[in-house]
Amino acid sequence: MQLSEFQRLIERIYFEKDSSRGLEGTFRWFMEEVGELARAMRQGKRDRLAEEFADCLAWLCTMSSICGIEVEQAAARYARGCPKCGKAPCECSD
């Protein structure tokens, strides 16, 4: 599945509910999901990681839709490597 297809799917499932909640409320739900991902990582719950990554991606896509941003176009920022040095792998000094 392409990112744009995933974004359209998430819009069909959740856009009405998420847009009525607003960007700020939707962002809070996203942060809760990031917390669940962090907890699964910290606890070594590998079986939960795919689910939590998927949930984070879904919330990120719905926020992008609310803002009118195409996730696939946003991801293109990295198409040529690191946005700062242009290399892959990145050669920027930390």
CATH superfamily of 3-78: MazG-like (1.10.287.1080)
pLDDT digit string (tens) for 4-47? 999 999 999 999 999 999 999 999 999 999 999 999 999 998 88
What residues does each domain of the chain span?
Answer: 3-78
Closest of 31, 74, 26 to residue 56, by C-alpha: 31
pLDDT surpassing 90 at residue 67: yes
Looking at residue 90, its pLDDT comes to: 97
pLDDT surpassing 90 at residue 54: yes
Buried b (16+ CB within 10 A) or exposed e, 41-58: eeeeeeeeeeebeebbbb
Q: What percent of the chain has pLDDT over 70?
A: 100
